[in-house]
Chains A and B, each alone.
Chain A
Amino acid sequence: MNLRDMALKNLCDFDELFNLHSSMPDNQVIIAYEGEFNPQITQSVLSLAERNLDSKMEEGQTKRRAYNIAIECLQNISTHSDRDEKNPNCIFVIGQRDGHYFISSGNTIKADKIEKLKRKLDQINTLDPEGLKQLHMQAIKESLKNQTTSNSGLGLISIARKSGKKLGFQFTLIDPENAFFCFQASFPKKSV
C-alpha cells in the first residue's frame, strides 16, 4: 500500500479522523487547505484566512503581516508550481505556536528548478534587513526597467522582509523529474 492509499484509508476511519482532529489543538491552526488550487480557490482560502485572523482579534499590524505573507505564498503556489495529473495538489497552512505565526506552503516543482530556487532562497537567508532592502530595491528597479512580468524573486524577498526571520524550505524528490517544495515563513506576533 502506498502512502497515499494509507492516508485515504486513515481518513475513512473514525479513530483516525478523531486523531487528526486532536492533532490540531484549538487555536493553533488558523487555516489548512490541501487540494487543487486555482484563482477562485486562492480567493476563498484568503477570505477564510482573513476571517479566522479577524476572529483571533489580532493587532492590526500582525494581521496585516500574516495576510500579506499569505497572499504572496498563495500566488507563489499559483505561479510557480508545476502540477500534473499525477501530482495535482498543493497544501497551504497558517498556524500559530509559541507567540509566532507560521505560514507554510507545499507544491510540486520540476526537479530541474530546484537548484535555481535554492540559490535564491539561500541568498535571501544570508542577508540582514538592510541587505534585503537593497536587494528588494534593486529587483524592483530591474523589473521597472525591463517591464518584465516575471517577479525575479520579488515575492520571496518581500516575504523575507515582512517575516524578519530566515525562510524555511525543503525539497523532497517525488520521482526523478518532480520534487515537492515545502516553504515556511514565520514571524513573531507583536506584543501590544
Chain B
Amino acid sequence: MDKILDIRGLCKRYPAFALKDVSFSVEKGQIMGFVGRNGAGKTTTLKAMLNLVHPDAGTVKVFGLEFGGHEDEIKRRIGYAVGGMSYYPRRTVGEILAVTRRFYDSWDEAACRHYLEVFRLDEGKRLRELSEGMKVKFALTMALSHRAELLILDEPTSGLDPVSRDELCDIFRQLAAKGVSILFSTHITSDLEKCADAITYIKGGELVASESREAFIERFAAEIGHRPSFEEIMVHLEKEALTL
C-alpha cells in the first residue's frame, strides 16, 4: 500500500523529556490512532511531522516528500486540527473561511458548502461561540474543502461529549472510505475501539508498537491472559504503583 506518511528514527531532546527513535508509517485510507498518556510525546511527534518542531535526528516524509524544499506543497495536501484550540476567537466562521480559501488552488467551494451544511456550521458564528466539537468540525471542513489527503489531528476528541465523539468516529470512517488517511492522537481508548485501523503506541518518548489493530491486541493477549480491550492494554502498560 502507498505510504502517505513515513517517519524514521525521529529524535528530539528537551531538558526534561526526550523523543527516542520513533518510526512508523500511515497508509492511504488508513485511520491510525496515536496513543499514549499525557506527556508521552504525541504532540511533539505530530509537530515534527508538520515542521513546527525541528527533530535532532530522523526523517519525516509526507507523500514521499521531505519538508525541505517542499514545505508549501506538503502543507497544501494536509489538514491539521487540535482539540480544544481555535484561532481568532472573535472572528466568524465565514471570515476565516474567506481568508483560508485564498491559499488553496484546490479549494472546492461546493465541498465547503456541503460540509458546512452537514456539520451544521453557521458562517455568522464567532469561533468562541462554537462548542469544542463544532471547532473540530470546522477544522475538518477547512481541511476537506481543500481536499486534504492526510488529516493530522491532535486529540480531536478531547473535551467532546460521548455523542460528539461517536459522531466524529463515524466521520473518520466515511473519510477513510474516500481514501483520506487520518492520524489522530488520543488517550481515550473507546475512540480506538470505534474507528482505528492501526495503533501506534508511545510511552515516555519511546515507541512501544506500531501495527494493525488486531496485531496490537494479539501482542498483549498472551501477557494479560485474555483478549484485552484497549483500556486494559493501556492500564497494563502504564500503571505504576503509588505509595501515599
Chain B associates with chain A: no
Chain B residues with a Cβ under 8 A of chain A: none
